[in-house]
Structure 1
């Protein structure tokens, strides 16, 4: 079982990361998928997405849950039947699940140069903290994206803008945590964020 990493940010929260090395058939083996999940994975055109979907179900098992314990609301936010909070992400060969008593969100992204092309769409004042053409510029952009995506997932509110409503204080070098806010409808919501980098990927998770 390629459970890549387990992180416990606090006593109520656990993150599990999976490295997807198995074939589709190997990932299907041993899973008990509910009919709608089976239909969903069968309809995916990309095997990469299929394997990501199935790896998340294996992560659920690692937490002691089954596919039937997971459901989604009208905004696409995942929930667990026992009332615990959950957030899910996958990117290429990695997937991750975070489970907590408190509100949380998680995102994994591959560090790619093309993020520079869309940076203006999700970065505003954070540009003041960035220096282009530095060796770690792509990594820092990816951290900001992951943080804002994790905020978006935990807030799960239509109309929320990465650029206008999601704000973060970029972390200093060699620091893997920071503070972020959602400023929406004249209310500010503050979150603690941690992040890590591994094998050309970035993972960030936000916690209330």
Structure 2
């Protein structure tokens, strides 16, 4: 089973990334899924999404959890029955899970040029330091998207907008970390953000 990478950002937080190489049958056969999880996976039209969903359950096993330990609130945010904080992501052939004693969010994105076309939808403040002609422009946009997606998952509040309510402080791709902020309806909160690149993908995660 291809557990691709394990990271320990601090003593209370662990990140695990899975490279999805197995078939649907190889992924589903070892799992004991809740009825609602089975219904959900069988209802997915894309096998890629099915395999992503199932690989996340294998990551849960790598943490010592089962599908029965995971539940979702009304906003779609995942929770663990033991009270630890969790965030989940999958994109094409990779999935990731972060588990911590504090608030966390995680996102994996494939690096694609078309992100530049939609940049104005999620970037505002960050244009002050981005160089659109730089060789790492697409990589930086992907990091910013990943960090903001992670913040959105962490906060899970309808009405939050990437462009208006989330800020990513200037960073270098070589740094692999930066600071980000939520500024929403009087709430101003600072988070540490980390990111890494592998095989044409970017993984970003934020920790409270």
For the aligned pair, the TM-score class normalised by the smaller chain equals over 0.9
Query: In the alignment, is the contact (CA less than 8 A) between 2:170 and 2:178 conserved in 1?
Result: yes
TM norm structure 1: 0.99
Say if 2:152 is the partner of 1:163. Answer: no
Offset from partner CA, 1:102-122 (integer Å, 9 cap, x none): 000000000001101110000
Q: For residues 51 and 32 of structure 2, what CA distance do their matches in structure 1 show?
A: 15
TM norm structure 2: 0.99
Q: For residues 174 and 58 of structure 1, what CA distance do their matches in structure 2 show?
A: 31
Within-5 A mapping of 1:33-72: 33-72=33-72
Q: For residues 152 and 170 of structure 1, what CA distance do their matches in structure 2 show?
A: 19
Give every structure 1 segment of 4 or more consecutive aligned residues whose post-TM-superposition deviation is greater than 4 Å: none
Secondary structure of 1:114 counterpart: helix
Aligned length: 208
Matched with 1:4 is 4
Matched with 1:92 is 92
Q: For residues 119 and 31 of structure 1, what CA distance do their matches in structure 2 show?
A: 39
- Once the two structures are TM-superposed, the CA of residue 172 in structure 1 deviates from its matched residue by 2.2
Matched with 2:116 is 116
- Once the two structures are TM-superposed, the CA of residue 173 in structure 1 deviates from its matched residue by 4.2
- Once the two structures are TM-superposed, the CA of residue 170 in structure 1 deviates from its matched residue by 2.6
Give the gaps of 5 or more residues in structure 2: none
Q: For residues 93 and 153 of structure 1, what CA distance do their matches in structure 2 show?
A: 20
Query: In the alignment, is the contact (CA less than 8 A) between 2:140 and 2:173 conserved in 1?
Result: no
Say if 2:138 is the partner of 1:135. Answer: no
Matched with 1:28 is 28
Q: For residues 135 and 94 of structure 1, what CA distance do their matches in structure 2 show?
A: 25
Give the gaps of 5 or more residues in structure 1: none
- Once the two structures are TM-superposed, the CA of residue 189 in structure 1 deviates from its matched residue by 0.8
Q: For residues 42 and 31 of structure 2, what CA distance do their matches in structure 1 show?
A: 14
Q: For residues 53 and 174 of structure 1, what CA distance do their matches in structure 2 show?
A: 31
Query: In the alignment, is the contact (CA less than 8 A) between 1:144 and 1:170 conserved in 2?
Result: no
Matched with 1:203 is 203
Offset from partner CA, 1:7-66 (integer Å, 9 cap, x none): 000000000000000000000121000100000000000000000000000000000000
- Once the two structures are TM-superposed, the CA of residue 133 in structure 1 deviates from its matched residue by 2.4
